[in-house]
Structure 1
């Protein structure tokens, strides 16, 4: 059975601002105020000021950073785990990127492919073990060497 096109005469009333519930007049003002507050907070803090782990996707604190011609390898530690990412110096076009992380005596864990900004994160359990990380972008690479021994 086909429906008639809507003539506009019998339209349903518009729903409120949040999930279809009508919460009254104050809800719209509250949401607008919250958006304005977020914009002010962003302006005060600045676009590049975020925790390092938020930018990389790795939890914990940064323990090693290796810069190379096309990017940077960053290694983070959180408890018994170590995490690594490779970040491009100039994000943009897709290019071959990879990150490899290995705990001594264990198999390496890697992520590689054609990415625009970062490869990884990769994570290994490294309780009382040395780790080594390698990051590469477009044929250039950075190697951390064995550390956390």
Structure 2
């Protein structure tokens, strides 16, 4: 293999790496939520100051609240309650996210709540 062929392959490799890095940065939403919860994403509950990502797997429901803007610590919370059970709650002073919290819902409805600062969301009974 001559030097020009090696240069072409190196250039192609760098192009592929650069493009994949740019795609990773440009992907919408909070792809990192999948790192906190297993299963498939079933809902995104958006509100003025953030969003709650909801995942479901084998009868378990998991949720994480993400701040829309990451700027210092603020009060954040997330809770998931299966009908007939107590809620799993995470509340505190966070910079990026609250949770994850997971409950076993089986085939029962769940109520999901999340807040970041003064903004909040409440789903009502869902995923029935």
Same-fold call, TM > 0.5?
yes
Residue 55 of structure 1 pairs with residue 32 of structure 2: yes
The two structures have a TM-score, normalised by structure 2, of 0.78
Counting only pairs closer than 5 Å after superposition, residues 94-133 of structure 1 correspond to structure 2 as 94-133=73-112
Moved over 6 A (4+): none
More strand by share: 2
| In 2: Cα distance, 1:38 partner to 1:113 partner | 41
Count residues with an aligned counterpart: 113
| In 2: Cα distance, 1:81 partner to 1:50 partner | 25
The two structures have a TM-score, normalised by structure 1, of 0.67
More helix by share: 2
| In 1: Cα distance, 2:57 partner to 2:47 partner | 25
Tell me the secondary structure at the aligned position of residue 125 of structure 2: coil
The structure showing larger relative contact order (alpha-carbon pairs under 8 Å, at least 6 residues apart) is 2
Residue 82 of structure 1 pairs with residue 77 of structure 2: no
Structure 1, unaligned runs of 5 or more? 1-35
